[in-house]
Amino acid sequence: MPPHRSSCRKLPCLRRIRYYRPAYGQPHGTHTAGSRRPAHRLRQGTGRAGRPPSADSIHGASTGSSTKPVITAVHGRCFTAGLELALNSEICIAAGDTVFGQQEVTRGIVALGGATVRLPHRAGWGNAMRHLLTGDQIDAQEAWRMGIVQEVVPAGHELDRALELAHRIAAQARLAVQATPADARSALAPHIAASAAGLRNDVGPRLFATADAAEGIASLIERRVPTYEGI
């Protein structure tokens, strides 16, 4: 697998299971460890047509009623969009060395891929705000306690365990498997849609246009502590 890249693989023998590996590619999963895409866009403005990156991208804020269960297997550093991919799955299997983080607030911007809705839903309001408002990292055991992760396995076994669960799910009645996540996701869909619309049309553009956002991204590129002024 090419280094520094994420991969998405459909399992041909399990046609209704999708499997994502958002943090794979290097031994420590470096693909989701930074904010290079927002940094690149802020250098040239604010994304396409003067807007921040789309809130309805693959990174999580999909409002569709998916009927295909998603299992994620992660290891190493799983930050920002990587965590949002995990939150957008039905089941997340984490290696014991996984470290999670939703770090946008430390760079003067906001999570655009659904974390502001899905993390409170998954982990509870207090747990979510504890990390969304600080950007502090979350180790695998704490992520399991909070409900972000459903199982923690020894490093190197996360893929095997994800595939084992995928086969287990695929052995059940197809229509029932399709109906279950579709119904569960329908309860969250209106909130995701409202969040995505606000991020895309109001909150996101306002934050991305601030001096604090520019300072946050500049400090990331220059590897220094940011100085924020609330403007």
Is the predicted pLDDT of residue 4 greater than 60, yes or no? Answer: no
Provide the number of structural domains found in the chain.
1
**What pLDDT score was predicted for residue 29?**
43
Q: Which has the closest alpha carbon to 162: 3, 14, 1, 45?
A: 14
Please indicate, yes or no, if residue 74 is contained in any of the structural domains: yes
Please indicate, yes or no, if residue 34 is contained in any of the structural domains: yes
Please indicate, yes or no, if residue 160 is contained in any of the structural domains: no
Higher pLDDT, 125 or 187: 125
What would the pLDDT profile of 150-179 be if each residue is shown by its tens digit? 999 999 999 999 999 999 999 999 999 999
* Per-residue tokens: 153: 């396995």
Q: What does the angle CA 66 – CA 70 – CA 73 come to, to the nearest 5 degrees? A: 160
The CATH number for 214's domain is 3.90.226.10
What would the pLDDT profile of 75-134 be if each residue is shown by its tens digit? 999 999 999 999 999 999 999 999 999 999 999 999 988 999 999 999 999 999 999 999
Please indicate, yes or no, if residue 231 is contained in any of the structural domains: no
CA distance 146 to 187: 21
Please indicate, yes or no, if residue 162 is contained in any of the structural domains: no
Higher pLDDT, 7 or 37: 37
Please indicate, yes or no, if residue 166 is contained in any of the structural domains: no
Name the residue range of residue 35's domain.
7-155+173-222
CA distance 107 to 88: 23
User: What does DSSP say about strands 151-153 and 99-101: parallel, antiparallel, or unpaired?
Assistant: unpaired
Which single residue is written with the structure tokens 């001096």? 211
pTM as predicted: 0.77
- Residue 10: exposed, middle, or buried by beta-carbon count in 10 A (0-12, 13-18, 19+)? exposed
What would the pLDDT profile of 27-68 be if each residue is shown by its tens digit? 444 455 554 444 444 443 443 333 444 444 433 444 455 678
Catalytic positions, please? 84, 104
Please indicate, yes or no, if residue 164 is contained in any of the structural domains: no
Please indicate, yes or no, if residue 47 is contained in any of the structural domains: yes
Least confident residue range of 13-17, 69-73, 117-121: 13-17
The 3-class SS string of the chain reads CCCCCCEEEECCCCCCCEEEECCCCCCCCCCECCCHHHHHHHHCCCCHHHCCCCCCCCCCCCCCCCCCCEEEEECCEEECHHHHHHHCCCEEEEECCCEEECCHHHHCCCCCCCHHHHHHHHHCHHHHHHHHCCCCCEEHHHHHHHCCCCEEECCCCHHHHHHHHHHHHHCCCHHHHHHHHHHHHHHHHHHHHHHHHHHHHHHHHHHHCCHHHHHHHHHHHHCCCCCCCCC
